[in-house]
Structure 1
Amino acid sequence: MTETNPPPHRKWTDFDWIWNTITVGCLVLGGTFATDTVQAFSQGQWDLLQTFGTIGQGAGLVFVTGGALTDRGRQGAKLVLTSLRIAPAYQAEVTCAFAAVTLAATYGVNQSLPRLGDYYYRQGQRFYNAGQTASAVASFHQALNFDPNDVRVTIALGNYFEKIRDHEAAQKFYLTALPYGEPAAFSGMGRAIMRQDTSLQGLEAAELYFQFALSQAQLQPELKASILTHLGFVYVQQADLIARNPISVAELREVGMIQSADPVGDLQRRSEQLLRSAIALTDINPAPWPGKGMAYCYLAALLDQTDRPQEAQGRWEDCANRAIPASSNQYEDILNYGGLPILDRVNTSGIVTRYAHDN
């Protein structure tokens, strides 16, 4: 009778392939997170915070990747682990554990990118408040590298380019924020279009964005007052264009006036209602902000257009004493409609300070 030899006893190292497979999986995931993180870091000017973050991840990945994926690397890793007095039977497990820790650290840094974005956003605000505009814009761009979905940053950059009258660039940033339903983005888009295209078609497009902004929930009083002010001013401009230039039926249809027997009068009445609503919201908040009180100026211009000079004079006084234009565009509006006597008395601090609110 032939004796059957018992199966050989499996050694602990026979399972190293499992640990090596897990190690490679951790490396693949860690490499994905690290690549995304390094791309975010490398798109702007590096500083101490960024450098340490990237080097920390890179060092861990280089050590574990070299030890797991190449013969030379495995030999080197074995020497390091042996020098640490780790028995060969457990080196695969230790390498796997190190890969897992590296993956966790890489994932943690990657997930912290929005917090880094917030850091650079706040840094940009501080630069802007200090008058260091170039540094502020660089910080805002850096913030977008870390968190492209931060609508605060895109709106801040939109405000900046709008303020320097690069309305095309401003629209690109506002457009990025529109899918998030931010009313400030809709309002900014309307302002940028209104300034870039003063035709009936351009003003109609701006009107739609202001209407979208008003339809959003939970509007702050200051923002709502700003939107009402700009929408009212759109109607002032539309009424002025129609009054000065005969327009076609097609153009009347574009501005929603095809059924109106008096399109100029209807637009002026819409404007007056909106501007008075903006003034009511403005009057309940004593705090100043860039853009506050511009409804007085636009209402005064409207009253002049509708031959109510005495009412207009009172509103021009309110404009001179209470308006804080937020941009050179609004400053020019006061000059064009009210003249130098009003302009010389207006508070211009809002033009040179950061957008504390939507303007």
Structure 2
Amino acid sequence: MTLPLDQAIQHYEAAIAALAQAARPVPAVIVLEALNARDGVQAALADADHVSGAALQTISKLDQQLRNHASEIAPFIQAADWRASFSPKETAWWWWLEAPKPKQWSQFDWLWTALSVTFLTISLGLVGDISTRFLKGGPDTAGAIAVSTQSILTLLAAGGALTKAGQEASKQSLKKLNVSEQYWHELGTVGSGVLLLGLIGLRQSLPAISSWYTDRGREAYDQKAWGSAEAQYKRALELNADNTSAHFWLGRLYEDLQKPDEARTQYQYAIADDPNAVNNLARLSILKKDYPTAISLLQKPLSDEQTALEPATKFALMKNMGWVRLKQGNATDAETWLDDAIKLGQAEKLPEKTIAAAHCLQAQVIEAQGDPKKPLVAQKQALPEWKKCAGHGTATVPEEDEWMTTAQQRLPKLEEGQ
């Protein structure tokens, strides 16, 4: 039953007096009595037909006294779940009292706000940078998820800090979580900072993600899915332009697609870190008859004792050095390089189809060293090398296929003449 307004005010006044005189810490029952008394005043105001100015002035005075006790009231209404038990309206401000923030604490609110805005501004810039890398050339599933997630989180954070609607929604959420208002600015800064750190972490992880795309490209390449492989390699390079492996394999793909100029460009990006790219670029230079460039490329890894070369890579470099020397007409030097390459291949037990290319070239060197007036003699001397060339060459490499064809054409005639 609602009390008349004058009795409700007297009850409220007595509750405030009891609150002021209570021992510290104030007992919960006294705090609850004061809040209940203020509820009674509000109910009486709603039922009253007319409220005098004196009554309103008294209520205002008592309300101010109640606010002065916010430090004693706030711990109870925040921690004791009274709000959940009694479900007060949000207009019942006495149920939402906050302990006053110390001046030395509140004086830095401007700093927390400035930091929040700064963090969010940087975050938006990072989102733009990362999203552009993922979206260029059309998004894939993984890229779409990454872009959507970071964009949504950033926009939510920015909306909560920079728009009125967002700020109001944030306040309501913090109230429901019983978070003291004195910490709202700091929590906003922490949230913005965590978002920024997450985006920085994502930006720093782009090289690792780029490697993941490179691996997907390798899988597509092995399955001869050329379009998919190219898309994966390009995505890897958008995320990390310094991904040497992606440059190399994209170059390999372009070679398979008969695009030597595009392949050359990719190999040039990779030669600083990948001897295989050096070898492939040198090979393209030989095919283009740019022999000085090929020699310059091949000499560096072969002469650098600090460079640890895989046996297959070193064999390929030596074989190509023999090839370019043969093309230059230096058969003696070519023979030395090819002989060393063959010995290395045999010592390291490389596949015969790999070593066969050096035998093909060695056969040509022997013929080049022969008497021009007696070509058949030189061809017969080269017969053992032609046999190894014809039996184990790699038909998928254009020049090796040509050498194998030459060997297969020579062998019947030479063997008949033995």
The TM tier, using the shorter chain, reads: 0.7 to 0.9
In the alignment, what sits opposite 2:186? 93
Q: 1:25 aligns with which of 114, 118, 122?
A: 118
- How big is each residue's C-alpha offset from its partner over 1:182-241, in whole Å with a ceiling of 9 and x where there is no partner? 22222222112222x22xxx12221211112323411111111101111111121221xx
In the alignment, what sits opposite 1:124? 217
In the alignment, what sits opposite 1:270? 333
In the alignment, what sits opposite 2:245? 152
The alignment partner of 2:367 has SS state of: helix
Aligned-pair identity in percent equals 24
- 2:292 aligned with 1:204, yes or no? yes
Aligned residues: 303
Q: 2:127 aligns with which of 27, 34, 38?
A: 34
Q: 1:78 aligns with which of 161, 171, 176?
A: 171
- How big is each residue's C-alpha offset from its partner over 1:305-333, in whole Å with a ceiling of 9 and x where there is no partner? 22232331000111122333552233234
**Which is greater in Rg?**
2
- Which one has more relative contact order, counting CA pairs under 8 Å at least 6 apart? 1
- 2:326 aligned with 1:236, yes or no? yes
RMSD across aligned positions (CA)? 2.5
The TM-score normalised by the length of structure 1 is: 0.77
- How big is each residue's C-alpha offset from its partner over 1:76-129, in whole Å with a ceiling of 9 and x where there is no partner? 433444444434332211111111111121112112211211111111111122
**Post-superposition shift, 1:341?**
6.5
In the alignment, what sits opposite 2:407? 338
Matches within 5 A, 1:127-206: 127-178=220-271, 180-195=272-287, 197-198=288-289, 202-206=290-294
In the alignment, what sits opposite 1:356? none
- In 2, Cα distance between equivalents of 1:289 and 1:146: 39
Contact between 2:352 and 2:392, CA under 8 Å: does it hold in 1? no
Q: 1:50 aligns with which of 143, 146, 156?
A: 143
**Post-superposition shift, 1:268?**
0.6
Contact between 1:163 and 1:328, CA under 8 Å: does it hold in 2? no
Q: 1:311 aligns with which of 369, 377, 381?
A: 381
Structure 1 322/9 Cα, relative in aligned 2: closer, same or farther at 3 Å?
A: closer
- How big is each residue's C-alpha offset from its partner over 1:144-200, in whole Å with a ceiling of 9 and x where there is no partner? 12222111111111122223332111111011123x3422222222112222x22xx
Contact between 1:34 and 1:110, CA under 8 Å: does it hold in 2? no
In the alignment, what sits opposite 2:398? 328
Q: 1:115 aligns with which of 192, 200, 208?
A: 208
Structure 1 67/29 Cα, relative in aligned 2: closer, same or farther at 3 Å?
A: same
Contact between 2:312 and 2:350, CA under 8 Å: does it hold in 1? no
Matches within 5 A, 1:247-262: none
The alignment partner of 2:328 has SS state of: helix
Structure 1 50/83 Cα, relative in aligned 2: closer, same or farther at 3 Å?
A: farther
The alignment partner of 1:140 has SS state of: helix
- 2:308 aligned with 1:215, yes or no? no
Counterpart residue identity of residue 147, structure 2:
T
In the alignment, what sits opposite 1:302? 365
**Post-superposition shift, 1:334?**
3.4
- How big is each residue's C-alpha offset from its partner over 1:257-309, in whole Å with a ceiling of 9 and x where there is no partner? xxxxxxxxxx1101000011111111123353975421010111111222232
Counterpart residue identity of residue 321, structure 2:
L
